């Protein structure tokens, strides 16, 4: 992958049905619908192949964006826990 470092491979993959995939798949499908509308074609019946293509591209773009997001949050969590481990005096347990 071009946008993720090799250490991101250690993370579990996100679900195929995540909110980013669903949302961007829907946006891709609506883009195909708008393209048909602007070109005065039947909205649902024209360019079925384009609808499938745009939906698929949106779905996989959402998948990889979710993968990048999960890597980013895992990296932030790792750095935060590392800081807590090296500075225990700042994080005393109240009790």
User: Are residues 26 and 58 in contact, defined by beta-carbon separation less than 8 angstroms?
Assistant: yes
Q: Tell me the pLDDT band of 6, cut-offs 50, 70 and 90.
A: confident
User: Are residues 24 and 65 in contact, defined by beta-carbon separation less than 8 angstroms?
Assistant: yes
**38: exposed, middle or buried (Cβ count in 10 Å: 0-12, 13-18, 19+):** exposed
Stated pTM of the model: 0.80
Quick: pLDDT tens for 26-51.
999 999 999 999 999 998 888 899 99
Q: Tell me the pLDDT band of 94, cut-offs 50, 70 and 90.
A: confident
Q: What is the pLDDT of residue 45?
A: 87
Task: Kindly list the domain boundaries of the chain, sorted by start residue.
Answer: 15-85
Q: CA–CA distance from 45 to each of 4, 87, 91 (Å)?
A: 38, 63, 62
- State the CB neighbour count (10 A cutoff) for residue 76: 10
């Amino acid at each position: 992958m071009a946008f993720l470092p090799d250490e991101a491979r250690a993370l579990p993959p996100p679900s195929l049905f995540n909110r980013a995939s669903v949302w961007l798949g829907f946006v891709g499908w609506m883009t195909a619908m708008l393209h048909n509308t602007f070109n005065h074609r039947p909205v649902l019946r024209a360019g079925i192949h384009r609808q499938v293509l745009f939906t698929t591209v949106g779905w996989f773009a959402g998948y990889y964006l979710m993968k990048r997001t999960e890597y980013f949050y895992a990296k932030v969590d790792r750095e935060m826990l590392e800081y807590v481990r090296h500075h225990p005096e700042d994080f005393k347990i109240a009790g």
